[in-house]
Every structure is written in C-alpha cells, then in structure tokens.
Structure 1
C-alpha cells in the first residue's frame, strides 16, 4: 500500500518558511501488508460501553512477537548489505587515497565505488523482488535513454518529467490485473522517477549559454545513483550531488553505531504501534467516540509510515549516505513524528511527513512555478501544481488524490487566515513555528513576554486551538487510507462512511477557513 504519502509536501503551502529548520508520498516507501497482523482483536466489546477483551495483554503480545520477528528477517539483510557496501567503499578509497567529497573529481579511479553501489543495490532488490527486478532494470534503462533529452536544455528536462510521470501510468495500466505485484514495484519506481527527473533538471541548471552539450553521466555512474543500496528499495529520494559526496564514507563507525541503534529501536516501536496497539485502541474506542476511533485507526497509517521511514533512516546511516537535512542523533531525517503528532499547523505537518520528497517538490515544482512571478495568484497556482505532481507520482489511487487536494485547500486557507490575523494583531499566530525571541518579527510573541502575561496566554491558547484543529484534520483524512479500495463490500465499508459519520465536518471547516479569510481581509 502506498498510503504513506497523504501528506507529503509543503513549503508550498506556507511561503514564508524559507528559514524554517526542516528536516519533507513516497521516499517513496512501500509497506508490505504481510507485516500487518489484523486478526487479533475479536470479542470483548459491548455496544453500550467499553469493555477490555479478556487477556488483551496476551493478545497484544501474540501480535507483537511475530511482527517483530518478521521485520527483523526483512531488515537484517538490507542492513548487512549497506554495511558491506560502506566497508568496501572505505577500503577502496583508502587504497586510492580518495578523500570524502572528492569522488566526483577522482575520474576513473572512482568507477569501482559506483560499481560497488550498483551491485549492492541490485542485491537488495533481488532479495526483495526476486524475478520482478527485471522490470525495474528495464525501466531504469529506458530512463537513461530519456535522460538524453537533457541535452536539449530546460525544455528537454520538462519533456523528460512529463514522459516519466506519464509512463508510470502506462506501467500501472498494463499491470492493472496484477496490482498485488505492482503495489510494491510502484513505490520503487516512484523513487527512480524522482531521481531521474531531478537529475535532468540539475544537469540543465548547470549548463551555460556557451555550453551546447551537457555532460550526462555515463551508464555506470547513472545506475550507481539509481540503485544506491541505501535508497534502492525503500527510498527516500536523494540528490545526485549528495550521492557523489557520500561515495566515500565521512563518519566514523562509532558515530554510525550511535545513530543506527535509535533508528532501529524507533522502527520496532512504530511497527508494534501500527500493527497491534493502534488497531486495538481503534476498536476499543469505536463505539464510544467516532473521533477517537478515527484518530487511532489513522494512527495505524501514520505509524506504518514512521516504521518505513525509520528503516530508511537506518539504511542511510548504515551506508553513511548524507542528505541535506540531518540530525545529530538520528542522522539523515526522513520524517519527524514529533511534529506530526503535535503539529502547529497543516503546513508544518506536511513538511515533516516526508522530508526528502518535500525538498524535491519544493526544488523542482513549487520553486520554478513561483519564482517567475511573486503574486498571490501565482503562489496559489504553484501550490496546486505541487500537489498535482505529488498525486500523479503516487500512481492511480483516487484516495490519495482526494486527500492531497483536501490538504491543499485546508492548508492554504489556514496559512492565509493565520497570516492575516498575525499581521493585524501583530501576534505570533502564523502557521510557521516561532523563530525564537530574537528572530520573531511579531511584537506580541510569548517568547518575548512573561509566561504569565495575559496576552501570551491568549496567543498560546489560540495556537493550541489551531493545533487541535489540525489533529482533527489529521485523523479525518488519515483514516481514508486504511482501506484497500474506494468501494464498499460485504467485509469492508467504503471510506466515505467515516466522512459521512463525521458529517464532512473537516471539509466544511476547510472551506469555511477560506470564506472567513475573504470576509475579514
């Protein structure tokens, strides 16, 4: 299932966050539904109240134990390959005296580094996909042929992007009757497409008016980038420059171990929450509170995304692959759950959902659309185009389209309203996080005043209200992505049932935010 990305983007929502420390549909990551244990929660409920099932702790234990064993068997081979890749690269770099960051200019002596990455990535994909690896290889070769369009300049890169995204729909249509196979391939191909598109635009950006030919990387370098072991299976997207800079490991093995262990622990915690705790709580509260039922069911979606993201972070750390956004304790950041579970705004939530994809969309979609004209109309158009591209990258899933369109509307309305209120009241109520006492531009900022100040209390209360509203949107939209289809059946009701029982309240609030902004502005 590709439900990990119902949020993935948006600095494009909040255009004032250029200095924000970010970390943001899917890496695209794919989550193997075989890891889920769905049938542990039977009996023990009464429609007129909440009653814990008998032996529920034993039920949770029987759910957690097989899930943990299965994921260890799944992750261990990938970690071993990534560590082995790093060791071989270190040995070759030491023998050839290649310093970190110098591999791009090392010429032919760096070719073994690309070959090591290519072989390691193919090994991981073969263990994961078996014979289906041939399809990914074929599509990657076709991508290299299309990359020659970059020689035409910026226009060629745009054509490359359209053809690449369009081809993903063709692949899915051709394999429509075998979607159980394609669901896993789609996430891998999504990351390949993002790498291919970013490489095309980066190549044209480095070309000058005097240079009529653009240096497209040779096939081995290209395939080494596409199939880099840290990102070949689960993502996330990394830039070509980051790949080249990380060919030679930078950090010591002690730093790697210090960063690897927390990611593995968080990965296992997220798995238990996703497979066992969240579904249990969702059923427990389903009859007493519809909102709590939606919230905990949506938590299963969010936790599965955290699970995949922490695996991806662990693989990045194991191979010492650097990215633009890194944490001292966790290394390269793919997601920030603490900013998702307790968000300041919708825009800050989606920026933290998938950090690399956020950066990709901001750099190659939102930025080019917005920089041509700074008008408000152009900015809104850039936001819509960003969400549209994000939706198309996720393939043919109407649920994701509906969720992303809703996020675009809700988020943009909230940003405009809070920015206007902040300007009128000169108060720190904007959608972006406060930049601190010395950097906040608003006079009425709680960090500039005493905690017991009446104005500070009001501002905190208002921001708390926006946080609560965002959590409601998070549960309302996230629960949609639990189901396998849009249609109802004998066993599974349509996702619209959740929205109908909620009275489509989240959509009314989202549209009402826009109307309120237009009214007061």
Structure 2
C-alpha cells in the first residue's frame, strides 16, 4: 500500500468553518500600519478570548463525558446514554441546524444496517450517506449546509465504517443506544476526527488520570491557540497586501493551514479530555507539512485519521471489487462526496492527486536510475538500500530540497483557494477558483504538466 499512498488524500480537513468564520468576521482589519501593541489589542486578544469562550461548552461536555464513561461504577448503558445526551446538547449549542437531519440519518442508517448483507455490500454501503448529502445539497440554504457539512461528514464516516466492518466480520450491528452514542459523541461530533467504533467502545472504564494527561491536554490546547492567532492575525501582519502576488498567495495558504492546525490540535485536546489514549490523538503533523519532503508526505500528514479511513474503508474494498484503478476512482469520488458537491474542493483534490501521482512516479524512476535516496517517502533510518544517500552524495540532498521547494510552491497555489472572503460562508464557486488561479497564470498546473511530460519521456 505504500506505493498507493498518494491516492488517499484529503486536502480539506473536517474542520467546522463556523468558528473560523465568526473570528474572521469579528476581527478583520487593515494590518499595514499596525504596531505590535495594536495587533495584540485589536486582533490577538479578542481572537483568543472569543475562541476560549466559544469552546467552553465543548470542553465541559467532553470532561463530563470522561467522568461518566470512565468511572469504575458506571454501567455500559450509562456511558452511551451520557454520550447521547451530551452529544445532542453540544450539537444544539453549536449547530442546531443539524439536529433534525442527524436524527433522520441516525434512524435511517440504523434501519439500513439491519438489512441482509447482500443489500449492504459494495456500492450499497453508501446509500444512506448519498441520500443525506444530496438532500442537503438540493434543499438546504448554502450557508446552512456549509456550516453543518463537517458534522454530517463525521457521522457519515462513522456509519460507513460500521457497515464495512459488519460486512467483513459478519458481526451484528451495535444496539441502538450504542450506535447513537457513537454517532453523536460530544468528543468527536463537532471537531472530529473520525474514530472507530472499537475505540469509542473502549472508552468505558479505560481512562487515565495523571499529570501527563493534564499537561498533554493543556499543551494541545495552547498550541491550538497559537495556530489560530497566526491564522487570524500574524500571517496578515507579516505579509501585507503590499506584498507580491506570490507572497500573498503563500500568506493566504499559510493562514488556511494554520486554521487547519488549530482545528486539529483543538480536536486532539478534546479527544484527550474526553478519555481517548494519547496514541489515538495525533491528527496532523505541521512540521511535515510546512517543510515537506514531498506532497505525498503532505497528504499523509494533513489529516491522519481521514487518511486511515479512506485507505481502510474506501480504497482497499474498492480495489478488491473494481481493481486498482477503480479503487482510486472510488476513493476520489467518496472524498468529494463527503465534502459535498463543490467545484473548488473537487478541483483542489483532483489537482493534488495528479501532482502527487506524478511526483511519486518520477521520483521512483529517478531513484531507480541513479540508485539514489530521492523517492517521495524517506527510507527508514539505517535501512536504506540505495547506494547514494545524503550522507555520501551532496546532490541527493539538493534534489530532495528542490522537490521540497516545489511542494511548498504547489501548496501555496492550491491553498490560495481557501481565503477569508465572504464566499467562505456559503462555499466557493467555480468562478472564484478559476479567477484565483488565473491571477497566478495557472503556473502550478503548467509545472505539473511539464513534470508529467518529463516523466513520460524518461519512464
């Protein structure tokens, strides 16, 4: 599967834009003539204050769930009951628009899981999710659907994972209260990420209460606040509108990535606070994204749980039934469908898939021809079989640095799409996408095309 890793990408995390939209709307201002003191008073302070206040209900609900779920005397049913009550309370507080939809989806999908296996296999596993997403696309206002899209996506991912596991293991589906508790758990329903039903079930009486847990939870949350501060304030203060268009593109892409890190580290903090073990709380790896060896590394490190979900529940079953190419198409179709029928997301996902495919292939060919450690994925320490490595050949380092610079360039180009314009409240249109890329002369796509031509000639 390592050679196929570039297909399981997800350029947009399951972050929930309603928080970022609120912050951006409240604290946008002109940065060009602001001092550091002004930056703190006008942006940093209100951003941090608003963020903490906004997250207090979720923090309290997750901590209360941990107390109930991991108390020695708590019966299993009480844990699921607490998850249902606290989960719906949190959904009502943050995204009340999603309540009736999730209730319908929960009932319909649970009935679906009771059907004979022949109706739940293959493409049939997507029927409930396809129905709910198409309903949202066709009947809901764009702003409302955009606000609840992440919540629906997490619920859909959970339902599909249970359906696939049920088909492969021939186990009975969870009982109703277990299923509902899993779908609406306060620990994952708002910020995600996807966790397996097994991980959710093991929360019962499996918790740890020690200093490491406290420091890790607080540390994750502190890092999240640093990232949201950079996203909302720091990036635009350092790189103003007077910067060149490529620096502005890098700034907007950096702001988007920092927003993703904020959501990811907030989610990690909530997962720890809600009782998950430390090993299950790594969602993203910022250093491997900001200083990447390759785009392949970026798509793996961007959203680790989503990457794992796509590989386990979409690509592998799809490859068994449809072959390698069919599995790839199904993976992209599923990823696009989960995020809604949005041209911009589809364009970015497909572009990133094309980029990573070409990068992976051309670096594999070059690595074989020159017997050099220049593949997309770094060889394990002390286990590299290549004759030429960074330690004994200077140009190996130079080639890897060149591909790293190219990855950063592509990320700036693709991330430019997710700016803080008013369109983010309803989703970006295809005109927004074409206009943004045309301002940069479609440079990234042209470079990718030239790279493909080079690969085609030397393969």
Q: TM-score, normalised by structure 1?
A: 0.81
Find the counterpart in structure 1 of residue 230 from structure 2. 273
Q: In structure 1, how many angstroms separate the alpha carbons of the residues matched to 2:138 and 2:452?
A: 37
Query: 2:70·2:205 contact (CA, 8 Å) conserved in 1?
Result: yes
Find the counterpart in structure 1 of residue 406 from structure 2. 469
Q: Deviations over 1:420-452 (max 9, x none)?
A: 111111111111123112x22222222xx3xxx
Q: Does 1:357 align with 2:357?
A: no
Shift of 1:393: 0.7
Q: In structure 2, how many angstroms separate the alpha carbons of the residues matched to 1:25 and 1:366?
A: 17
505 and 13 in structure 1: CA distance in 2 versus 1, 3 angstrom threshold:
farther
Find the counterpart in structure 1 of residue 206 from structure 2. 249
Find the counterpart in structure 2 of residue 116 from structure 1. 82
Q: In structure 2, how many angstroms separate the alpha carbons of the residues matched to 1:232 and 1:487?
A: 27
Find the counterpart in structure 1 of residue 251 from structure 2. 296
Structure 1: 4+ residue segments shifted above 4 A: 24-27, 37-40, 485-488
Find the counterpart in structure 1 of residue 276 from structure 2. 321
320 and 486 in structure 1: CA distance in 2 versus 1, 3 angstrom threshold:
closer
Q: In structure 2, how many angstroms separate the alpha carbons of the residues matched to 1:250 and 1:157?
A: 37
Moved more, 119-128 or 410-419: 119-128
Q: Does 1:87 align with 2:67?
A: yes
Q: Deviations over 1:112-170 (max 9, x none)?
A: 22112222212211221246523322222222122224x31585363131441343122
Shift of 1:356: 0.8
Shift of 1:287: 3.8
Partner SS state of residue 435, structure 1: coil
307 and 486 in structure 1: CA distance in 2 versus 1, 3 angstrom threshold:
closer
Find the counterpart in structure 2 of residue 440 from structure 1. 384
25 and 288 in structure 1: CA distance in 2 versus 1, 3 angstrom threshold:
closer
Find the counterpart in structure 1 of residue 125 from structure 2. 160
Q: Does 1:136 align with 2:114?
A: no
Moved more, 222-231 or 460-469: 222-231
Larger Rg: 1
132 and 193 in structure 1: CA distance in 2 versus 1, 3 angstrom threshold:
closer
Partner SS state of residue 475, structure 1: helix
Shift of 1:196: 0.3
Q: Does 1:458 align with 2:436?
A: no
Query: 2:319·2:327 contact (CA, 8 Å) conserved in 1?
Result: yes
423 and 276 in structure 1: CA distance in 2 versus 1, 3 angstrom threshold:
same
Return the match for 1:345 from 287, 294, 312. Answer: 294
In terms of fraction of residues, the more helix-rich structure is 2
Partner SS state of residue 347, structure 1: helix
Shift of 1:39: 6.0
Q: Deviations over 1:187-246 (max 9, x none)?
A: 101110000011000011102xxxxxx412111010011111210111111111111122
Partner SS state of residue 114, structure 2: helix
57 and 225 in structure 1: CA distance in 2 versus 1, 3 angstrom threshold:
same
Q: What is the count of residue pairs matched by the alignment?
A: 451
Find the counterpart in structure 1 of residue 139 from structure 2. 174
Q: In structure 2, how many angstroms separate the alpha carbons of the residues matched to 1:162 and 1:487?
A: 27
Query: 1:11·1:358 contact (CA, 8 Å) conserved in 2?
Result: no
201 and 423 in structure 1: CA distance in 2 versus 1, 3 angstrom threshold:
same
Find the counterpart in structure 2 of residue 509 from structure 1. 447
Find the counterpart in structure 1 of residue 281 from structure 2. 332
Shift of 1:386: 1.6
Q: Does 1:55 align with 2:35?
A: yes
Shift of 1:406: 0.2
Q: Does 1:36 align with 2:24?
A: yes
Query: 1:27·1:334 contact (CA, 8 Å) conserved in 2?
Result: no
Find the counterpart in structure 1 of residue 163 from structure 2. 200
Q: In structure 2, how many angstroms separate the alpha carbons of the residues matched to 1:65 and 1:379?
A: 51
Q: In structure 2, how many angstroms separate the alpha carbons of the residues matched to 1:186 and 1:239?
A: 20
Q: In structure 2, how many angstroms separate the alpha carbons of the residues matched to 1:413 and 1:245?
A: 41
Return the match for 1:392 from 337, 348, 351. Answer: 337
Q: Deviations over 1:438-467 (max 9, x none)?
A: x22222222xx3xxx4x1x21011000000
- Where in structure 2 are there 5+ consecutive unaligned residues? none
Return the match for 2:44 from 45, 64, 68. Answer: 64
Partner SS state of residue 71, structure 1: helix
280 and 304 in structure 1: CA distance in 2 versus 1, 3 angstrom threshold:
same
Q: TM-score, normalised by structure 2?
A: 0.91
Query: 1:28·1:237 contact (CA, 8 Å) conserved in 2?
Result: no
Shift of 1:183: 1.6
Query: 2:27·2:47 contact (CA, 8 Å) conserved in 1?
Result: no
291 and 511 in structure 1: CA distance in 2 versus 1, 3 angstrom threshold:
same
Q: Deviations over 1:27-58 (max 9, x none)?
A: 622122012157644375xxxxxxxx153641
Query: 1:11·1:362 contact (CA, 8 Å) conserved in 2?
Result: no
Query: 2:191·2:263 contact (CA, 8 Å) conserved in 1?
Result: yes
Query: 2:83·2:184 contact (CA, 8 Å) conserved in 1?
Result: yes
Find the counterpart in structure 2 of residue 424 from structure 1. 369
Q: In structure 1, how many angstroms separate the alpha carbons of the residues matched to 2:23 and 2:245?
A: 27
Find the counterpart in structure 2 of residue 145 from structure 1. 111
